[in-house]
Amino acid sequence: MAVLVAEGLDKTFRSRGKTTRAVDGVHLRVDRGEVLAFLGPNGAGKTTTIKMIAGLIRPDAGSVRVAGRDPHRDPWALRQLGAVLEGNRNVYWRLTPLENLEYFGVLKGLPAAVARRRGKALLERFELTHKQNALTQQLSRGMQQKLAIAVSLIHEPALLLLDEPTLGLDVEAAETVKQLIRELADDGQAIVLTTHQLDVAQQLSHRVAIIREGRIVAEDRTATLLARFSGDQYEIEVEGELDEARRGRLAELGAQPLNGRIVFVGSPEGLWAVLEALRPLPILRVEKDRADLTEVFLKLIREETHA
């Protein structure tokens, strides 16, 4: 089920006689339980798009539907949004985590008792209960980030917007936050993730949309995009020496021994023939050349530049 449907979004800024077409015909869709990584170089139009989705900037053209309704017209649709857009700004340093959750819950229209009950449940779930009465400013950055996410979820929004959720966190805190995001998605939360940390995007996203100069230049399932940009080269490592007969057979199949590895470019069927030719030598490793999201991103961005 589509939680977010954005269609044909346009936004042009005019300031001091200069016109910037920040967003140009952007379509985005996010389903329940799906993490969409929304990626692009600096100034590509991500923040402007997210602000249009969040009801903060009115699009010149196009439409946004969150859980079927327009956040620019319908306060109910606005309540279907939760956002951690700029670091920890949605928490108050001088309040405790529980007070933050209660305060923002009431601000979002919840009765105080409901906000408190949900706040306690979120602290439990995010393993922050032991800090519920400490001042937020005394929490570690990782804990503050978890609290910021908890606060954005207090009113049980249909769509969660996360901007750079792991930026500046140490390895362990980043892993905890990533795990939390995975669990939220597994429980059905729809999430739009904006980040320049492409490894994080690769690990967390089901789908990727890449924007450049206001236009979407690629939009696909993460796995599909990675497969599309992966080569068809295999590397095989075996134990023991290759005799002359075997070397000859490998050459016939188009496989090349190279620095202790065998390199083969071809189809999966061809690979089986190569493996067959190596029998009965023990195989230590067979690996396909796989693109990562950084390579995909750079290729797409450059392709567009040269187009």
Ligand X SMILES: Nc1ncnc2c1ncn2[C@@H]1O[C@H](COP(=O)(O)OP(=O)(O)OP(=O)(O)O)[C@@H](O)[C@H]1O
Q: Is 87 left (phi over 0), alpha (psi -120 to 50) or beta?
A: left
Q: Residues 193, 165: contact at Cβ < 8 Å?
A: yes
Rounded least distance, CB 151 to ligand X, Å: 22
> 280: cis peptide before it, omega within 30°?
yes
Residues that bind ligand X (CB under 6 A): 13, 15, 20, 22, 40, 42-48
Q: How far is the CB of 198 from ligand X (least distance, A)?
A: 13
Q: What is the DSSP string of 52-85?
A: HHTTSS--SEEEEEETTB-TTT-HHHHTTEEEE-
Nearer to ligand X, 48 or 88 (CB): 48
Looking at beta carbons only, is 61 or 112 nearer to ligand X?
Answer: 61
Contact yes or no for 253/277 (Cβ under 8 A): yes
Least distance (Å) from ligand X to the CB of residue 192? Answer: 13
**How many C-beta neighbours within 10 Å does residue 19 have?**
8
How many angstroms from the chain centroid is the CA of residue 295?
16
**Shortest reach from residue 12's CB to ligand X, in Å:** 9
Q: Which is nearer to ligand X, 43 or 168 (CB)?
A: 43
Whether the CA torsion 165, 171, 173, 179 is positive or negative: it is positive
Q: Which is nearer to ligand X, 22 or 174 (CB)?
A: 22
Q: Whole-number minimum distance, CB 43 to ligand X, in Å?
A: 4
Residue 99 or 213: which CB sits closer to ligand X?
213
- Contact (CB, 8 A) for 200 and 178: yes
Nearest to ligand X of 6, 22 (CB atom) = 22
Closer of 161 and 274 to ligand X (Cβ): 161
Measured distance CA(68)–CA(76) in Å, rounded: 10
Which ranges in 108-186 belong to alpha helices (H)? 112-125, 141-152, 171-186
Nearest-approach distance from CB 58 to ligand X, in angstroms: 12
CB of 47 to ligand X, least distance (A): 3
